[in-house]
Amino acid sequence: MKINGSRILVVNKDKGCGKMLNDIQEVLITQEQLQAKVQELGKRISQDYSGKELLMVCILKGAVVFYADLVRQISIPVFMDFMAVSSYGDATRSSGAVMIIKDLDQTIAGKHVLIVEDIVDTGLTLKYLVENLKARNPLSIKICTLLDKPERRVTDVKVDYNGFTIPDAFVVGYGLDYAEAYRHLPYVCVLKPEIYE
């Protein structure tokens, strides 16, 4: 089965995947494009942090798939930690108020921290996170995001590593969800409009 050139390998209708595939309007970024970009980012990050010890912070849950692929493309010593945050708001719009659901396990004072996010939309989540983590005195703090939606930005956020700049559309897959669904899809896609209605 092919959707816009991206091959879907496993369709298990018994587990509801068949229903989810019917919800897709368009594949925006294919598995092949994602894989190539992750390799490129991993190479750049490894070069930029050469000789340093890097702590990569995964922002759960959206970044988990990207993060798991990215860390395996890093060729320097890397440490892993996880944070879960929730922005108050409805399913597709963030309000700017952020709550930490799971904090880091370790202190970051004196460490080089790279935040790994799924998407920068309004920028409010990352603005809060960067300020929160900066107060813990890391040696440096940078941002790596898979996707950037600059049209929707309401606050200044300096993105150091960006996978893809995308137009103002709500996307799912490769970790990103709509109402907690579609995270497992191996590509980034746009859902049919009736799904949100």
Residues forming contacts to ligand IMP in the complex (CB under 6 A) are 62, 87, 94, 117-125, 170-172, 176
Q: Retrieve residue 67's tokens.
A: 């993060």
We find the least distance from the C-beta atom of residue 166 to ligand IMP, in angstroms, to be 8
Q: Judged by CB, which is closer to Mg ion: 62, or 138?
A: 62
Q: How many residues bind to Mg ion according to rule CB under 5 A?
A: 1
Question: What b-and-e string marks burial along 135-151, b requiring 16 or more CB atoms within 10 Å of the CB?
Answer: eeebeebbbbbbbbbee
Q: Is 4 left (phi over 0), alpha (psi -120 to 50) or beta?
A: left
Amino acid of residue 189 = C
**Ranges within 4-63 binding Mg ion (CB under 5 A):** 62
Interaction pattern, residues 76-95, with Mg ion; x per rule: CB under 5 A = --------------------
In the block, tokens 């494009």 appear at 33
Chosen from Mg ion, ligand IMP, none, partner binding at 120 (C-beta under 5 to 8 Å by type): ligand IMP
**Residue 123 interacts with Mg ion (CB under 5 A)?**
no
Structure tokens at 192: 């049919």
Cα–Cα distance, 64 to 69 (Å, whole number): 9
Q: How far is the CB of 69 from Mg ion (least distance, A)?
A: 17
Exactly one of 69, 103, 105, 121 is catalytic; name it. 121
* Residue 69 appears among annotated catalytic residues: no
Instruction: Give the shortest CB-128-to-ligand IMP separation in angstroms.
Output: 8
The smaller minimum CB distance to Mg ion, of residues 42 and 62, is found at 62
Rank residues 27 and 120 by Cβ distance to ligand IMP and give the closer one. Answer: 120
Class of residue 162 by CB neighbours under 10 A (exposed 0-12, middle 13-18, buried 19+): middle
CA distance 11 to 24: 14
Q: Give the residue numbers annotated as catalytic, written as ranges.
A: 121
